[in-house]
Amino acid sequence: MAKTHAFPGHAPNPLSCFTCQSRSRSEWCVLSDEDLDLLDQAKVTKTYRPGQIIIAQGDPCRGIYCIESGTVALRKTDAEGNSALVRLAHAGQTFGYRTYFGRGEFTSSAEALEPCTICLIETPSLRRLLDHNPALGFKFLEHLAHDLANAEETILQNVSLPVRTRLAHLLLTLKDRYGSVDDAGTLVISLPMRRQDIADLLGTRAETIARTIRTLEQDQVANFSGRRVMIPDLDNLLDEIDPVDH
């Protein structure tokens, strides 16, 4: 059976890679039944509470992590101890693969933003899978190329777009995963992160985010209450991205 670990208060989660709902969205989708059985037997599954650290910056690489459920924040810390959110990872996604293939130490920490169930595929099993199924390596290469393209696009947006447009774009990105429509027809987005985290992602300061939020509220584009964002008319938010054609 697969090795399963859980923190006090959490029951072991008997996940199977064969029935995992996230597998079709991950690199593991290319595995044969034989390889999938190896993955299923080798993985180590843990549950994490919000705020718990999954890996710490500077830790040696033990393998690749796959998120079965929940949201993970990847943070970098500088020499002065200042931490910044650099990326979010969601169910069906993997993290730690760049460190694994780069054969180094983790250059960022990973923190659970909400209750998470995460599987670790350790190095010996990964080597066997990659040797037996080269398509898996190509999947991780595609992931690397996708991440690089996203990083370049983020740099371009941070240089060329005003903060208000960047914030609107982030809200539109988050709405598909964290949004719901209430009885009044208002789109409600439950943000998985703090405002400082939003500032980090958008390459600006928390004070600038606070001012930008006030202008969006004054223009009745969105209303913010803690981590809840109410958007009465989605078209108004879309106009922030492209005022001509959406």
Give all strands of the β-sheet with 179-181 in edge-to-edge order.
179-181, 187-190, 228-231, 223-225
Q: Pull the structure tokens for residue 1.
A: 């059976």
Angle made by CA atoms 2, 71, 95, in degrees to the nearest 5: 60
* pLDDT, tens digit only, all 246 positions of the chain: 344 443 333 434 457 888 887 787 789 999 999 999 999 999 999 999 999 999 999 999 999 999 999 999 999 998 888 889 999 999 889 999 999 998 889 999 999 999 999 999 999 999 999 999 999 999 999 999 998 898 888 888 888 899 999 999 999 999 988 999 988 889 999 999 999 999 999 989 999 999 999 999 999 999 999 999 999 999 999 999 876 554
The CATH number corresponding to 162-241 among 3.30.420.40, 1.10.10.10, 3.30.70.20, 3.20.20.110 equals 1.10.10.10
Are β-strands 53-55 and 109-112 bridged in parallel, bridged antiparallel, or unpaired? Answer: antiparallel
Give the Cα separation of 51 and 119 in Å (integer): 18
Which CB contacts under 8 angstroms, 24+ apart, belong to 190-193? 190/227, 190/228, 191/227, 191/228, 191/229, 192/71, 192/88, 192/113, 192/114, 192/227, 193/73, 193/85, 193/88, 193/113, 193/227
> CATH 2.60.120.10 occupies which residues in the chain?
3-157
pLDDT value of position 216: 96
Q: Pull the structure tokens for residue 169.
A: 């774009």
pLDDT value of position 9: 33
SS3 216: helix
Q: Can you give the pTM of this predicted structure?
A: 0.81
> CATH 1.10.10.10 occupies which residues in the chain?
162-241
Give the Cα separation of 186 and 157 in Å (integer): 28
Query: Residues with Cβ < 8 Å from 165, sequence gap 6 or more?
Result: 240, 241
For 183, other C-beta atoms within 10 Å of its C-beta total 5
DSSP 204: S
Q: Which amino acid is at 216?
A: L
The CATH number corresponding to 3-157 among 3.10.110.10, 3.20.20.80, 2.60.120.10, 2.30.300.10 equals 2.60.120.10
Give the Cα separation of 50 and 69 in Å (integer): 12
